[in-house]
Structure formats: structure tokens, C-alpha cells
Amino acid sequence: MSGIMGRAAEANFPISVQARVSMNNDRSIAPHFDEAFRTRLLDLFCWRRDVRRFRTEPLPPGMLERFIEIACLAPSVGLSQPWRFVIVSDPGRRQAATDNFESCNADALSDYTGDLSTRYAALKLAGLREAPCHLAVLAARAEGIGMGWVSILDPVIIGTILDVPRDWRFIGYFCLGYPQVEDASPELERVGWEQRRPAGDCILHR
């Protein structure tokens, strides 16, 4: 998670997200994204990581709200804008989410035996206790902020913990904060638990 890249990106956001959107809406010609921009965008994608080891320092005031504004720029069918974001600041709710992760993770551990069980138990699978922010967000990496997707949770229990409407569908629980270390390789790849598969393995032709 490159702090240098994050600081450079921040320099490109001297005005608010809404002000920039308004300026773009006033233009009748789409901007030209040149080769240099496309190269930097690819660098950004290559450095995105599922972070589990966070520094505990808080994020700057207003940053989460700006991330949500950026996320809400995403297109949606019929401009339905179906997304909702829950900023989990309440200590009791954060602890309940952490407890649910630990319970579900213990169940997952029981599925492994022998060496696999030992290796799984040693994995760092969430930064729930260290991360200063719990939030669903789409644009964190460009600001030098790391994000970790906590997938080992019970969706029904999490919905109850967050006290949201029953018809909302839980997508993901995310930790955000400044990463402890910078590395271009995913942690699970570095410890030998997983490895990146070629893109061709994800493509079907019909």
C-alpha cells in the first residue's frame, strides 16, 4: 500500500468530489485518458491488496465520507443506486462483529486437519481489532489507505448487529486503515497458502 502513491493521488483532489463531478457534468466532451494515465491506473490496480495488518492511527476527518461520495459515482441499472454503507463506530457493534468473525473462523479451522490446520491457524485473516475504521468502500487504495475484506462472517447475524432493514442484503464487511507494511504481493501468496491464477482460468467461451 504505497504511501507515496497515496500522497500523489491526494494532490489530484484539491476540490471536493461533488465540485469535481459538477465540473465534469458541465463538459460536453469526454476527457482524454492518455497512455500515461492508463499506465498509472494499471499501477493502481496492481497494488490493490486485501490488507490484514493495520496501523491503529485514525484516518483524516472527512476521508470516509469522501470515499463514499466516490463510491456513489458507480453506475447502476436504471440509476437505482442500490448500495448502502454502514460506518461502524460503536464499540459494542465492532466487538460483536469481531466476535462473530472469531466464531466463524473457529468453525472454518475445524474443517482442516494436520499440517493444513496448523497453517490455517497461523494465517492473519482479519484486522478487525487494529483497523481504525470499519466500512464498505470502493476507492480507498488511491489515497494510500489499505482495505481488508472480512469474508468469514454470518450475514444474518451481522445484519442484526448493525440493526439494518431485513431486506438489505449483506455484501461485505471491510476494515480500513494505513497498512503496516508495503508489498506488491498478496499476504496469502507470500505465506504460501494461495497463489494468483492466470486470468485465462476465469474466462468461459459459450
Task: Identify the domain containing residue 171 by its residue range.
Answer: 3-26+34-193
The verdict on residue 200 lying in a domain is no
pLDDT in tens, 84-130: 898 999 999 999 999 999 898 888 888 888 988 888 887 776 888 88
The verdict on residue 198 lying in a domain is no
pLDDT in tens, 183-204: 767 777 777 777 777 777 877 7
Q: Could you write out the DSSP letters of every residue in 131-170? A: -SEE---S--GGGT-EEEEE--S-HHHHHHHHT--TTPPP
CA 174 – CA 91 distance, rounded (Å): 16
Is the pLDDT score of 2 beyond 50? Answer: no
The verdict on residue 130 lying in a domain is yes
The verdict on residue 204 lying in a domain is no
Considering only residues 78 and 124, tell me which one the structure prediction assigns the higher pLDDT. 78
Domain count along the chain: 1
Q: Look at residue 204 and give its three-state secondary structure.
A: coil
Domain CATH number, residue 60? 3.40.109.10
Which residues are within 8 A (CB) of 109 and not within 5 positions of it... i.e. 6 or more apart? 117, 120, 121
The verdict on residue 205 lying in a domain is no
The verdict on residue 202 lying in a domain is no
The verdict on residue 16 lying in a domain is yes
Residue 95: predicted pLDDT: 94
The verdict on residue 90 lying in a domain is yes
Which residues are within 8 A (CB) of 153 and not within 5 positions of it... i.e. 6 or more apart? 97, 100, 101, 104, 173
